[in-house]
Amino acid sequence: MHTYIISDLHLTPQQPNVIEAFMQFMAGEAQSAEQLYILGDLFEYWIGDDAAPLLGAEPVLAQMQALASKIPCFFIAGNRDFLVGPQFEQASGFKILEDESVIDLYGQPTLILHGDSLCIDDHAHQLFRQQIVTNAEWREQFLGLEIPARIEAAKQARMESQAHKSNVSMEIMDVTESAVLERFADRNVQQMIHGHTHRQATHDYATPAGDARRYVLGDWLTTASVLKADANGIDITNYPI
């Protein structure tokens, strides 16, 4: 048996080929898995569970529900879809986990997370996390807005995000090594899996507790990055979209 872990699909009606690739993955390859984890940014943006029909998300949620009725499926919210809530959980069948959760991955305690909490040198993004992503008061106020107003706010946020990426180096937006080492120690794990940066890679570390490894998932913009874990280890494969 094996487990699949994916992230950063950024599903949007503007890229139907990515939606189709995800639907095919759920209806095909994922059926053979023991379980599936999605580590955030499944959607380009999520403005509340009640807006799912307007975002064209219902077919995606139905396909997720079909898979979740057969195998355990889990979801960690990213910085683009942090507003997922109980209705999303019910409609998709995916159990929402807290960011930075430790799971037993074939006998190996493993920290799974979206990944943006590790990018502590990106001060603008960390301020965004503090003021918006993890702010319950902001969430309540935003979800109280009419859906058209939320859509406009999401569009504005996307524009600001693109501008930020243009003005900040990739090194700043990448994870900070000291944060990675702190997580290994604080969570008492030697294995970590995350997305967010879109920089697919495997990184090895020498820690006081022994050798450790960090797996970074890629996105689904041009190829589909899929991590497969089983009792023999971990591999990340890229499938054409």
**Is the separation of the CB atoms in 80 and 43 below 8 Å?**
yes
Determine which helix (DSSP H) or strand (DSSP E) holds 157, and give its type and residue range: helix 147-167
Residue 117 has pLDDT above 80, yes or no: yes
pTM above 0.75, yes or no: yes
pLDDT-based confidence at 227, cuts 50/70/90?
Answer: very high
- The span from the CA of 63 to the CA of 67, in Å, is 7
What digits encode the pLDDT tens for the residues 10-42? Answer: 999 999 999 999 999 999 999 999 999 999 999
Residues in contact with 7: Cβ distance below 8 Å, sequence separation at least 6, in sequence order: 38, 39, 40, 41, 42, 78, 114, 115, 194, 195, 196, 217, 219, 225
**Residue 105: per-residue pLDDT:** 98
**Residue 154: per-residue pLDDT:** 87
Q: Is 205 exposed, middle or buried (0-12, 13-18, 19+ CB in 10 A)?
A: middle
Domains of the chain, CATH where assigned: 3-240 (3.60.21.10)
> For the residues 108-122, what does the mean pLDDT come to?
96
Average pLDDT over all residues of the chain:
94
What digits encode the pLDDT tens for the residues 164-220? Answer: 666 565 655 689 999 999 999 999 999 999 999 999 999 999 999 999 999 999 999
Residues in contact with 128: Cβ distance below 8 Å, sequence separation at least 6, in sequence order: 79
Q: Is 125 exposed, middle or buried (0-12, 13-18, 19+ CB in 10 A)?
A: buried
- The span from the CA of 233 to the CA of 27, in Å, is 25
> For 158-171, b where at least 16 C-beta lie within 10 A, e where not — what string?
eeebeeeeeeeeee
| R_g over Cα of the chain | 17
Tokens linked to 218:
């890629």
Q: Lowest-pLDDT range, 66-70, 136-140, 161-165? A: 161-165
Residue 56 has pLDDT above 60, yes or no: yes
> For the residues 150-173, what does the mean pLDDT come to?
73
